[in-house]
Amino acid sequence: MKLYDFTPAPNPRRVRIFLAEKGIKVPMEQIDLMSRAQLKPEFLAVNPQGTVPALVLDDGTVISEVVAICRYFEAVQPEPRLFGTTPAEQALVTMWEHIFELDGMLAIGEAFRNSVERFKDRALPGQLNHPQIPALVERGRRRTVHFFDKLEACLADRPYVAGGSYSIADITAMASVDFAKRMDYAIPEGNAHSRRWYEAVSSRPSAAA
Ligand SMILES: N[C@@H](CCC(=O)N[C@@H](CS)C(=O)NCC(=O)O)C(=O)O
């Protein structure tokens, strides 16, 4: 088994945190996104999406996409449960994970990738080159501000994003908060629920993964 990773990138980090929570160790190989190794034929032959993370199982099966990889490990080793336990919990974890992937990770990515020089022709990940669209920086920034509002509202009546237990939804939300720092965004001073939550999730040993 091998996990293709790139340590500085936010999406592979979500998988590393998930694995650390479960205490699972997997051999890893770095794909240097700075030198565009994800677009080289050797890597595209493994993962035609041209993205990391990507997991290759011992039988050669390739799993890309953070949540799919995490789902695999949850099935292999259910404890500790990071996708919820009861049917309702599982649905809520999936719901909040998806909300924060779209409104957190992707919103910040929109502002980031459309503004940073090294993504000039790489405004979206994947095989195709896409030029930056300056108007999307402003939209991404507006969506990032809204992400922080959403996070605060979500955490007003519960300790973790999807309820009473830490889950993959917290991993995605925390990775989003840390990703936003690259655009100089921080949890607003007055967002007490988010600050309390961030202090808790970011001090778990897995956050350093
Ligand atoms: N939806 C994908 C997103 C993966 C993704 O965008 N990964 C970035 C690194 S954070 C990447 O591989 N970028 C390659 C590129 O920029 O070409 C997932 O869940 O794995």
Residues 6+ apart with CB under 8 A from 150: 99, 100, 103
Q: Is 175 in the pocket of ligand 1 (CB under 6 A)?
A: no
CB distance 11 to 168 below 8 Å: no
Please give the pLDDT value at position 44: 98
Per-residue pLDDT tens digits for 107-122: 999 999 999 999 999 9
Q: Is 169 in the pocket of ligand 1 (CB under 6 A)?
A: no
Kindly tell me the burial class for residue 27, based on how many C-beta atoms sit within 10 Å of its own C-beta (0-12, 13-18, 19 or more): exposed
Q: Is 176 in the pocket of ligand 1 (CB under 6 A)?
A: no
Helices 106-113, 135-154: crossing angle, 10 deg rounding: 150
What is the number of residues in the chain?
209
Per-residue pLDDT tens digits for 99-157: 999 999 999 999 999 999 999 999 999 999 999 999 999 999 999 999 999 999 999 99
Task: Return the beta strands (E) in the chain as ranges.
Answer: 2-5, 28-30, 54-56, 62-64
Mutate to test the pocket of ligand 1, among 51, 67, 69, 127 (most ligand atoms within 8 A of CB): 51
Kindly tell me the burial class for residue 155, based on how many C-beta atoms sit within 10 Å of its own C-beta (0-12, 13-18, 19 or more): buried
Please give the pLDDT value at position 144: 98
Per-residue pLDDT tens digits for 18-69: 999 999 999 999 999 999 999 999 999 999 999 999 999 999 999 999 999 9
What is the CA(9)–ligand 1 centre distance, in A? 8
Question: What is the arithmetic mean of pLDDT over 83-93?
Answer: 98
Supply the mean pLDDT for the chain. Answer: 98
Distance CA 202, CA 100 (A): 16
Please give the pLDDT value at position 74: 98
Please give the pLDDT value at position 51: 98
CB distance 130 to 121 below 8 Å: yes
What is the CA(29)–ligand 1 centre distance, in A? 15
List beta partners, residue 2.
56
Q: What is the pTM of this model?
A: 0.98
- What single-letter amino acid sits at 5? D
Question: What is the arithmetic mean of pLDDT over 200-206?
Answer: 98
Please give the pLDDT value at position 161: 98
